[in-house]
Structure 1
């Protein structure tokens, strides 16, 4: 188990932030075996695709090189033309073979870990010049793993070559009694198949190396519990700072809320612990909604501002608690509470008409307006 300098075990998986930072530094999982196998298999396939054309151009060049007249010997220009003609024919198939190898070499290296351009990875590291670090690399666990992979590669290639030779042994013996040039072409075709099969055998090494490199990279990036906490603290901010920010945000919201209390139509109280200020747009289609709410000191402050602005204050403990616990500031009250609130709004309207001398005194509301069973909250 990997340990840090303080002896704490690195048991936690790397966080997304650490993965991002390691990627910026060019530290990603890489498999040299995958890149090598990709290039070799691409080379074998390119021989299958462009090999016939390449062999044809080579035969023309050899024929031209060994077939010449007496005048060609004494003419430097003729020899130069023969050389140019010979290599110009080889140029096209060689270009496509090299282009295919170039593309596959890039793709093979980036199949695991992706394609990354990092200037940090190119910077010289003086720690690599340390004899102690070099000694650790030579005799460390990674060196033994590389040695084991090399032995496995040799074993796989030897076993693969032995299996291929055993399967084609009779065919090889048959070539010795075949006539030219057919035997030569048959031998070349057999060789390219052997080369392709040997390259494909390296996929066994790739199947072992790729999961190991992924595991090794993940293990190297593991973090201690303290490192995870520190990173979270640095990314999210210190708890005391976040608490102060939340406190300031709460104070700002409270000040804004108190500015809306004078616009309320009624304030419903507990009467001591809770207060909710409600507003109802008589001309609009919106149902009653909460403009302010609070408990304890804030509840008293809402009632105080309401009295200063002559807002009716009604006592209905169950209804007040129901609205407080189910509705946030600016939200419409639940439909289940419409009937209870409508009774209060109707009473306030009748009371206003009575004060204006337009109607008689309304009947006083009970101190406890009933609410649905699912909206009853303890004091």
Structure 2
């Protein structure tokens, strides 16, 4: 696409990984609050279905002690051991209710990790006059993002209202009939109704959350779209940044080193300076072919070459002058120079003898 097509200011390119990373540093990430809400409902529903009734009953039984025996407990609560007794009763009740609070919190954290929405940035906390812009706020409220938020709220309100209406219409007679039943029966009915209503709300929240996370990611990418000029500026900046250059060079060297080390087990011999240099050579033994360098290195890389060669059973031949000369003159994948034929031939003969002895 030429610079003139659509104008260099038209944002038609998807955001680059660098632009997405910069946005994340600023705390600008695609996060769905509806997914977090759905996770909260799911966690609470899981607790209620997995024994939440027992937890509520246990907590209620503990607190009922305060209600059922006020005269007997009043003196003890106001006495010397009163604070300790009160703390024990309240602690027992909170311990019983702990899963009802902790499981939804854990579900929310899982949803945030799944969305990769946990980030720490001071940019969002920094006061900015641009956030007070009437024009910008109007665009947010009446633009695609604002319309989507309005549509979600309308759908949630409508769906929950319809579900609540049908549920109450279906179970209203049973609720009225249970009004004169025992407290335990009424409590069980209320818990059952709570679970059903929560299940309905969860289903609605999960559906809307699934749609919303797709929209949030699309909208996030839309806001970060780049123009031709943006792309060119980012390329210039990344190429001119010494830190980025160093990172790219470091990654390239690491990749090349790892590929080189994979070829060490195929070598015929590794010529070493025992402490500093190592050069791995491979000879096809074809007529007119010279040995080829498959790996070389100094210091730490040399040590890794020696270790891999030892594990793979490749003989090590100590010849410091030849090791230094080969390391300085031969490139990986290239044949050795003629002036090194005699020394390398001796190393390969040594290797052949070592292999025969090992058999």
TM-score where L is the length of structure 1 = 0.55
2:40 paired residue number? 39
**Are the aligned partners of 2:40 and 2:108 in contact in 1 as well (CA < 8 Å)?**
yes
| 2:62 and 2:93 in contact (8 A); partners too | no
Question: Where do residues 108-123 of structure 1 align in structure 2 (5 Å cutoff)?
Answer: 108-123=111-126
Tell me, in whole angstroms, the C-alpha distance in 2 between the residues paired with 1:57 and 1:25.
44
Q: 1:54 aligns with which of 53, 56, 69?
A: 56
Which residue does 1:20 correspond to in 2? 21
Structure with the larger helix share? 2
**Aligned residues, how many?**
248
Whether the 8 Å CA contact 2:36–2:108 is kept in 1: the answer is yes
Cα distance in 2 between the residues matched to 1:192 and 1:165: 14
**What RMSD over aligned residues (CA atoms) do the two structures have, in Å?**
3.8
Displacement of 1:179? 4.5
- Alpha-carbon shift at residue 153 of structure 1 (Å): 1.1
> In structure 1, how many angstroms separate the alpha carbons of the residues matched to 2:197 and 2:286?
86
Q: Which residue of 1 aligns with 2:300?
A: none
Aligned residue in 1 for 2:221: 218
Query: Could you say which residue in structure 2 is the equivalent of 1:94?
Result: 97
Mark the runs of 5 or more structure 2 residues left unpaired by the alignment: 1-5, 242-284, 292-330, 336-359
Tell me: CA distance 1:81–1:230, structure 2 relative to 1, closer, same or farther (3 Å). closer
Residues in 2 aligned to 1:212 and 1:59: alpha-carbon distance in whole angstroms: 46
Higher relative contact order (CA 8 A, sep 6+): 2
TM-score, structure 2 normalization: 0.57
Which deviations, in whole Å up to 9, do the C-alpha atoms of 1:72-127 show, x marking residues without a partner?
A: 45972276566334312212123333332332333333432443223334433331
Q: Secondary structure at the match of 1:202?
A: helix
Distance in structure 1 (CA, Å) of the matches to 2:183 and 2:72 = 29
Q: Which has the higher Rg, Structure 1 or Structure 2? A: 1
